[in-house]
Amino acid sequence: MQQVSWAAGPLDWSLVDGAVPVVLKILGCASLAFLVISRRRRWWTLWLPIGVVVTALLTILVKVIVNDWWKPFPDDLPTEIMFWIGILFLGLVLAVLRMPFLRWRGRAGALLAGLLTAVFAMNQANIFYDNYPTVRTMLGPQNTVSLKDATGTGKEGVVDVPEGKTLSEVWKAPAGMPGKGTVSKTAIPGTRSGFKAQDAYVYLPPAYQANPRPQLPVLVLMAGQPGAPENWITSGQLPDIMDSFAAQHQGLAPVVVVADQLGTPFKDPLCMDSRLGKIQTYLAEDVPAWITGHLQTATDRKQWAISGLSNGGTCSLQMAVNAPQRYGAFLDISGEAEPTNGSLQNTVKQTFGGDEAAYRKVNPLDVMARTKFPDTAGMFVAGTDDNPYRAQAHQVYEAAKKAGMQAQLMELPGNHSWQVWRPGFQNNVPWLARTMGLIR
């Protein structure tokens, strides 16, 4: 997305580029220098070394807890993130150690310096992941409306599309149509699967408000793990991306349902029907049934696609090959080659009680090795600095081509972060729209 101007207001100032990160860097470095430098010899010979040691121990403790014990992320914390965690601790620890040497006014200054150092370090980590582009995105989804208000009270007339034509070629935007779409938060129950999902978000483009209403294609979108559907609304800036596309196509854009495949932010049931839950049934049956029951959209598989980032990207490939009757296209952004919870042995044990054949039956690489998918379109996106996911993207791309898919691969600069995920989605909205028959 483009950088927001200063005139937009503080909530929309960019946290990842422009003036704000520079100001925070200056304040953070100056604050850390203030905390380190002292004219007291005992500070240099005793307390500062103590502060450095305590900081190192705290940083190592975080690394052990996160990477070895808790393991909330599929990958270890990167070295650069560990460095900024260390800077955060250093600022706070030094602020505490400076207190006995200062008067009340100086103590307030030390506390402020510690906090500024911590804010600087946290924003540097934010820049690494590009997680919160603005302050507003940190506040959660904004300007949501109830699904009832967004969809209206009844079924509207529909726009017929002749054979061989795209929707955009026969659609004429009516006067008075809204300039922006709507975002609604809603539960999608696991009626058949029994899966208890986190609440979903539904984006309806401006054309959905028209009468007659176009039969818009559907995109089911998923976040990564750890994560939740709202990540696409905030960090992913989904409403802005879709509104921008709709503005260029007379209000037309896919209906986007940001569904949950995890259950809780830190859980990973691996997007299959197994001992961990019936996630495939949820995404292949419950979510589509809810969409067709609550929204007025296209129903043909060619007009339905599924996508996601990281864990959600892996899941999109799983659904494309295991539920091709529902999804005719998929966009896999930074996904893995296979659903895994560490080693193959551990994954098979947790999902199917050690039955490797059951795992192979639904594992995408194995499915594509024995089945052809000439009527499925797939786009793989990987970051040039995203290892090992980049290599895995190439692996599944080659497998998809051998399986007869209409497969493509896109590489973008960046690592396993929103640096890749956001543009990876935005750059492929036109591809999705063409694949689903919305535009030529």
Q: What are the pLDDT digits (tens) for 88-110?
A: 999 999 999 999 888 888 899 99
Number of domains, the chain: 2
Question: Residue 73: what pLDDT?
Answer: 81
> Per residue in 7-57, pLDDT tens?
468 888 999 999 999 999 999 999 999 999 998 999 999 999 999 999 999
Assigned token pair, 71 = 């393991």
Boundary of a domain, candidates 94, 129, 164:
129
Query: Mean pLDDT, the chain, as a whole number?
Result: 94
| Same domain (yes/no): 194, 125 | no
Cα–Cα distance between 303 and 76 in angstroms, integer? Answer: 38
Phi, psi (5° rounding) for residue 305? -135, 160
The pairing of beta strand 255-258 with beta strand 200-204: antiparallel
Residue 413's domain is classified under what CATH number?
3.40.50.1820
| Same domain (yes/no): 61, 189 | no
Cα–Cα distance between 8 and 259 in angstroms, integer? Answer: 31
| Same domain (yes/no): 387, 320 | yes
**pLDDT (average), residues 164-174:** 93
Contact between 33 and 158 (Cβ < 8 Å): no
Question: Residue 74: what pLDDT?
Answer: 77
**pLDDT (average), residues 224-229:** 96
| Same domain (yes/no): 95, 173 | no
Question: Residue 407: what pLDDT?
Answer: 98
Closest CA to 250 of 206, 297, 203: 206
Boundary of a domain, candidates 76, 101, 129:
129
**Cα separation values, 30 from 35, 91, 118, 336, 368, Å:** 9, 11, 12, 42, 56
If pLDDT is split at 50, 70 and 90, which confidence band does 154 have? low
In the predicted structure, residue 245 carries a pLDDT above the cut 70:
yes
Assigned token pair, 160 = 């017929």
Phi, psi (5° rounding) for residue 306? -135, 145
In the predicted structure, residue 302 carries a pLDDT above the cut 60:
yes
Q: Is residue 139 part of a domain?
A: no
Cα–Cα distance between 247 and 147 in angstroms, integer? Answer: 22
Residue 353 exposure: Cα atoms within 13 Å on the Cβ side: 3
Q: Is residue 361 part of a domain?
A: yes
Cα–Cα distance between 86 and 80 in angstroms, integer? Answer: 10
> Per residue in 316-338, pLDDT tens?
999 999 999 999 999 999 999 99
In the predicted structure, residue 4 carries a pLDDT above the cut 60:
no
For residue 323, give every residue at least 6 positions away whose Cβ sits within 8 Å of its Cβ, in sequence order, or none. Answer: 280, 283, 284
Share of the chain above pLDDT 90, in %: 88
Place of tokens 């986190």: 198
| Same domain (yes/no): 235, 359 | yes
DSSP β-bridge partners for residue 304 = 218
Contact between 95 and 51 (Cβ < 8 Å): no
> Per residue in 261-297, pLDDT tens?
999 999 999 999 999 999 999 999 999 999 999 999 9
| Same domain (yes/no): 150, 215 | yes
| Same domain (yes/no): 94, 212 | no
Say if pTM beats, i.e. exceeds, 0.85.
yes
Contact between 132 and 235 (Cβ < 8 Å): yes
Q: How many CB atoms lie within 10 A of CB 211?
A: 11
Contact between 193 and 285 (Cβ < 8 Å): yes
Closest CA to 21 of 116, 127, 157: 127
Q: Print the domain residue range for 392.
A: 144-435
